[in-house]
Amino acid sequence: MNKYTPFLLFLIIITGWSCSDKVAEVTPAFDLQLNETEIAGGIMTPEILWKFRRAGNIALSPDGTTVLYTVTEYDLPTEARRTDIFAIPSAGGDAVQLTTDGGTSPQWFPDGSKIAFTSGGNLWAMNPNGSGKKAVKNLEDFEHYSISPTGKKILFTRRVKLDQTPNEKHDLPKANMRIIDDLMFRHWNYWHDYSYSHIFVAVFDGTALSGTSDIMEDQHFESPTAPYFDGGEISWSPNSNKIAYTCKQVTGKEDAVSTNTDILIFDCETGKTTNITEANKGFDKYPVFSPDGSMIAWQSMDEPGYEADLDRLMVMSFADGSTSWLSEGWDYNVENINWTNDNSKIFFTSPYLGTVQIFSIDLASRAVNQVSSGKYNYGPITLNNESLVTGIKSMAMATEIATIDIASGDVTQISSVNRHIYDNIMMGESEERYIKTKDGEDLQMWIIYPPGFDPSKKYPALLYCKGGPQGPLAQGWSYRWNYQMMAANGYIVVAPNRRGNSGFGSEWREQISGDYGGKNIQDYLDAIDYMAKEPFIDEDRLGSIGASYGGYSVFWLAGMHEKRFKAFISHCGMFNIESWYGSTEELWFPNKDLGGAYWEDPRPVGYNYSPHLNVDKWDTPIMIITGAHDYRIPYSQSLEAFTAAQMNGVPSRLLFFHDGTHFVTRPQDAVIWQREFFGWLDAYLK
């Protein structure tokens, strides 16, 4: 087949999204073609999901004519993984594979003459056509890198060991233990390793480094910041004389309760570092210099200790040191900051009404203009020479590469890394609905229908409870919580943008703090009650599923749903909020969302919404999933819940992933996750 599925054609027609006639088709590193059985089935399966090729890093050439992007592939039988680099004209055309033995993190030399990339732990340079690959000398053991705009310097990050281990303290090299005197000894999925991510700067001639120095020497702080260590938190000034970076200059207990990251500027000529956001005690991240170097923009949150506060666009003028809240009045988050060449506008992305769209803001008038449209998530974005390139995805399409006409907003998809799949399987349609909540608010939700949906039939339905609890429920594509996978298994998915979700203004987002078992849970009940009245949904075959805060939501619903649901699945959910407070790490989160620690007087009302308090009312089959290396919501929470279900005679199953974190990432683990997930639901809903 050489055409899109009927549903993708439907999307193209109703949204005005145009696809290049020459979308890229390249040969996979592994055998990812669908076999006869998969083609005959024509719908998503766990095995097909791991045949998706994953578009990653995007790098637009200085002249805006060529896009580099990475593609990652997995081989399910061996769990082997490989990432390579491709190039495609931004105007559309044939893709060229530039690396065949691995390549990540592509970056153009400032003059466009060469491409830098990483492979095998080394930094390499090659010609734009992929020829002439040579390793850069004097650079090993690094994580992120960035060539300066003049091309004469380079920065990179590297972990620097600064703390003494117990083995060193006691001169006993075979001991396997820790001595802990302060907090933040582990984070998300890793234990502190006695080292810190530091930024190094060096002279660069295109082939080798010299004069390397640590601009954070002896500091027990990190940049980029934990736990994501995002290289986008560091940037060069246009003249290559300054480096702006994000850093959290606190440690231990203070680190555990604070969100106070700052933007620091290091002067490469004087060696002086200046903190330009010292007055703000919330998050400050992702600095980006203006093209003429006269200004710098960044994302900023105002409220200390609130990780989901409004992400504001701040701009500072170097001429007088003044800082302005450029996006003041815009009640949506600002992400992915990109300046226009003339310094007059900034393009950014924002979660917006159940999607992620691209916007621009004029520095003079401060007017915000929506650039993109449609049922998509856009981003990350890159802007060069008035060429805007972006990732694009939806509930029916994994990430692809697209260009956007800045004037008209027209979108052109230029890649098709998964045509081998879309040509052979059908996707279910998604529908946006608004309903009235019990308290009279407008609730937006996405409904995803099975492929070949027949409204004359009755289907089981799943209430999808999102994690977060803040953040967007938009046009996401997941390789585990995949809406199309659920739909392909014959379920109608109901995904409400309940209170707490981003993209509907600050009041909607902020309401959930301190009210975990309140209005957002009622939003869920309002959504499923509304959909259960549809003639094509069987109200006697409803399930509820979710992970993280969504897993908590499932635990809470299990104790108060009044027999609406016939099956539950909770992944890495909070069960006993008191014990969770004592075992998690980012304490700023419960301090804000629960109101403080459980021993405070008066006791914060957030602890009244702990699911373990209602476990005596559990009466519905539940599957519980967790990972051994989840330190955000430690696996003991899931063990407590499973023990409670078993002791109360509730049909229950525990999936424990020894290599799992807050997520399941190993391919074969993920396939087992899917098989058990639908096996459990089918047993009680079909």
Residue numbers annotated as active site: 548, 630, 662
Report which of 239, 340, 255, 251 is spatially closest to residue 297, judged by C-alpha positions: 340
State both tokens at 514: 């301190």
* Cβ neighbours for 270, distance < 8 A, ≥ 6 positions apart: none
Nearest residue to 372 (alpha-carbon basis) of 397, 345, 405: 405
Q: Nearest 5°: CA angle at 318, between 316 and 319?
A: 120
Burial 566-587 (b: 16+ CB within 10 A, else e): bbbbbbbbbbbbebbbeebbbb
Any idea what DSSP says for residue 611? G
Using CA atoms, how far apart are residues 337 and 360, in angstroms rounded to an integer?
10
Bridge partners of 368, per DSSP, are 361
Please give the sequence-ordered ranges of beta strands (E in DSSP) within 466-555, or none if there are none. 492-496, 537-547
CB 645 within 8 A of CB 655: no
The residue whose two tokens read 């805006």 is 64
Q: Return the axis-axis angle of helices 519-532 and 549-558, rounded to nearest 10°.
A: 70
The number of beta carbons lying within 10 Å of the beta carbon of residue 679 is: 11
- Rounded-to-integer distance, Cα 633 and Cα 589, Å: 12
Q: How far apart are CA 114 and CA 512, in angstroms?
A: 50
The reply to whether omega before 224 is within 30° of 0 (cis) is yes
User: What are the E-state strand segments in 162-194?
Assistant: 186-187, 190-191
What are the residues facing 313 on neighbouring strands? 299
Do residues 428 and 448 lie in contact, with contact meaning Cβ atoms separated by under 8 Å?
Answer: yes
DSSP conformational letter for 576: -
Length of the chain (residues): 686
Residues 223 and 580: their CA atoms lie apart, in Å, by 28
**Three state DSSP letters for 156-186:** EEEEEECCCCHHHHHCCCCCCCCCCCCCCCE
Q: Round to whole Å and give the CA distance between 33 and 45.
A: 14
Structure tokens at 402: 């697209």
Residues 661 and 530: their CA atoms lie apart, in Å, by 35
According to DSSP H, which parts of 374-448 are helical? 419-422
Closest to 444 measured CA to CA, from 378, 351, 514, 563 = 351
Residue 558 phi/psi, 5° resolution? -60, -25
Sign, CA torsion 133/138/144/146: negative
**Strands laid side by side in the 242-247 sheet:** 234-236, 242-247, 262-267, 273-275
Distance, in Å, from the CA atom of 454 to the CA atom of 459, rounded to the nearest integer, reads 9
How far apart are alpha carbons 531 and 524 in whole angstroms?
11
DSSP sequence for 85-118: EEEEETT----EE--SS--EEEEE-TTSS-EEEE
| Residue in the structure block whose two tokens are 């979308």 | 23
Distance between CA 630 and CA 661 in Å, rounded? 4
